[in-house]
Copies of this chain bind each other. A is one copy, B any other.
Amino acid sequence: MEVQSVLHMNSGVGDISYAENSTFQQKMIASFAKTARQEAAVDSFRAAICPTKMTIADLGCSVGPNVLQMASEIIEAIAQASHQLNRRPPEMQVFLNDLPGNDFNTLFSLLPEFYELRETKLQETDQEQVPCFISGVPGSFYVRLFVSKSLHFVYSSNSLHWLSQVPQMQLQDGSEAPLNNKGNVVEGGHMVLTFMARRSSDPLAPMDFDGWELLAKALRDMVSLGLTEEEKVDSFNLPWYAPSMEEVKDEITIQGSFAIKKIELFDINWDDNSQEAPRNDHNYNPVAKSTLTMAKASRAVLESMLKSHFGEAIIEKLFERYCFLLEEYYSKYKAEVTNILIVFERK
């Protein structure tokens, strides 16, 4: 599988698009990772001695309102910090990176509204305007993407568990270092990464909630139904890896350019139980709601890869079955997923 050409979230803004189905990713952003990002961005600003221009980059931004919300929160934090320090807020250059197959058109279509909202808000709060310039950077974050020493702050949310290539073995025992762009972060610059991880140091240990296992089961059921071949399922490997904290620490030490300021694991519910039942809806079924949310979110992320490997014909049936398995699961268990948050400073 050519990861660069088939790994992309579903495009557009329709019912099965990633833009409309990224609740989980939204949660991760709204979680305490937001504070970590804001603090690290402000630290970068101070470390550069309140520069007049600042460049920040989102690696693996994907598409949807989450992307601009994160950028906005960071810009706001820096504006506040500069206000407190009695400095002029810096002009902000924001680079949004993802693979060339990402739906940048949809992402860019959100910009006019984003700029307008910012303007309205500024007028309301009587705050000084922070000029902010957004651009899209198509390319893999496993190769160099930026001019050297040009970035003050880098962040990546929910992307680095995707690998640059499909593992050659069934199981990969080392994670890929997401640090190829290190040369571009200026001294004192910060980087905040959040992505999926595992609590156990044993790569074979089952995860608390293994969505992949349910997907594998659904795929095997497709074989039973004669809709695909066993060899096809066996040869389908996702370019995905959730490392343990130790593996991450080791990679950072080997790479050597960054000091770890904070590293911790945290859990997020991979369902939608947070949503309350709509008033007067006596038929509201939280399990069915969670199932649908999760099935759509998985589809938005995986469809491009599944189509490329199994063909388009299998997709509807596969996700129908996946829905059934998810519902079975949700009726018994909570779906918690482990993530890792790391805050680095460039040495």
Contact = CB atoms under 8 A, between A and B. Distances in A.
Interface of A: 4-5, 11, 53, 91-93, 95, 100-101, 103-105, 108-109, 111-112, 131, 133-139, 144-148, 150
B111 A133 contact: no
Nearest to A105: B105
Contact of A112 (B4, B91, B133, B135): B4
| Copies, count | 2
27 contacts: A11-B105, A53-B147, A53-B148, A53-B150, A91-B147, A92-B147, A93-B147, A93-B150, A100-B108, A100-B112, A101-B109, A104-B105, A105-B105, A108-B136, A108-B138, A111-B138, A111-B139, A133-B137, A133-B144, A133-B145, A133-B146, A134-B137, A134-B138, A135-B136, A135-B137, A136-B136, A136-B137
A311 B126 CA distance: 42
A147 B133 contact: yes
A15 to B, nearest CB: 20
Given A4-B112, A133-B137, A135-B137, 13 more contacts: A93-B147, A95-B135, A100-B109, A101-B109, A103-B105, A104-B108, A108-B138, A111-B138, A111-B139, A131-B144, A131-B147, A134-B137, A136-B136
